[in-house]
């Protein structure tokens, strides 16, 4: 009887230990959302009304974030591109951006932080404020920065002396968010730089 109880206790302890050692299935996932809890990936805009869009790192595996880098592609019908505006970009305090984000539709952010961000379940890396003058559809994709710290085709973040990859929500190349349209699961481009070809 004592042996049986010992085996049961040992099994319970091992199971608890394994459960604690497991990482979250969405660790180090970067995505684009219309809320700060990584839930809303679709937004139906009102004409001429600005709205926020959040780039979020979900479940970081480091306690601090010292910097980050990612590229972006925004695709829409070329005939409607003149109706889409980026009203502003908000980075964390004491940020230095060495990327090139002057182009609304394609660019990257390579950001160093004077004060590291403390990790939480969902860390807002950047907030865009967009506005549309009509009901045109817009698709947003994330990928690597133009010059990668790790040549693996992924966004990344700096954890204080080393670099850790971030995986786009849904996987590399998948659509991250959409405006005035439904995000179809599985929409993926084989080449991150060729996203706009969908619309041309």
3-state secondary structure of 15: helix
Percent of the chain at pLDDT exceeding 90: 76
Q: Is 168 inside a domain boundary?
A: yes
pLDDT (tens digit, 9 = 90+) per residue, 128-155? 999 999 999 999 999 999 999 999 999 9
State the pLDDT at residue 185.
54
Long-range pairs of 87-91 with CB within 8 A, sequence gap ≥ 24:
87/50, 87/129, 87/130, 87/131, 88/128, 88/129, 89/126, 89/127, 89/128, 89/129, 90/126, 90/127, 90/128, 90/129, 91/125, 91/126
State the pLDDT at residue 13.
33
Q: Is 113 inside a domain boundary?
A: yes
Which pTM does this prediction carry? 0.82
Q: Is 7 inside a domain boundary?
A: no
Q: Is 42 inside a domain boundary?
A: yes
Q: Is 11 inside a domain boundary?
A: no
Its domain, for residue 95, covers 26-199
Give the CA angle between residues 118, 68, 49 to the nearest 5°.
90
Q: Is 110 inside a domain boundary?
A: yes
Q: What is the mean pLDDT of residues 62-72?
A: 98
Between 5 and 173, where is the model more confident?
A: 173
Between 106 and 9, where is the model more confident?
A: 106
Domain CATH number, residue 71: 2.60.40.680
CB 188 within 8 A of CB 75: no
State the pLDDT at residue 37.
85
pLDDT (tens digit, 9 = 90+) per residue, 97-138? 999 999 999 999 999 999 999 999 999 999 999 999 999 999
Contacts of 185 (CB under 8 A, 6+ apart): 170
Token pair 């939480």 is at which residue? 120
3-state secondary structure of 78: helix
Contacts of 186 (CB under 8 A, 6+ apart): 174
Confidence of residue 195 (pLDDT cuts 50, 70, 90): very low
Q: Is 172 inside a domain boundary?
A: yes
Q: Is 12 inside a domain boundary?
A: no
Number of domains observed in the structure of the chain: 1
State the pLDDT at residue 141.
98
State the pLDDT at residue 25.
67
């Amino acid at each position: 009887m004592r042996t049986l109880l010992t085996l049961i206790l040992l099994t319970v302890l091992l199971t608890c230990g394994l459960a604690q050692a497991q990482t979250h299935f969405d660790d180090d996932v970067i995505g684009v959302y219309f809320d700060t809890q990584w839930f809303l990936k679709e937004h139906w805009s009102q004409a001429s009304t600005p709205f926020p869009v959040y780039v979020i790192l979900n479940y970081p595996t480091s306690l601090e974030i010292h910097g980050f880098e990612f590229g972006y592609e925004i695709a829409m019908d070329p005939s409607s591109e003149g109706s889409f505006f980026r009203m502003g970009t908000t980075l964390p305090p004491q940020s230095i951006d060495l990327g090139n984000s002057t182009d609304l539709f394609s660019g990257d952010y390579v950001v160093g932080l004077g004060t590291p961000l403390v990790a939480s379940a969902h860390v807002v890396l950047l907030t865009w404020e967009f506005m549309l003058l009509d009901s045109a559809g817009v698709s947003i994709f994330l990928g690597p920065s133009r010059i990668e710290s790790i040549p693996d085709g992924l966004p990344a973040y700096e954890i204080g002396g080393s670099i850790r990859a971030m995986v786009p929500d849904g996987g590399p190349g998948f659509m991250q968010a959409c405006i005035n349209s439904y995000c179809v699961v599985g929409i993926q481009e084989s080449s991150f730089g060729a996203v706009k070809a969908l619309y041309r």
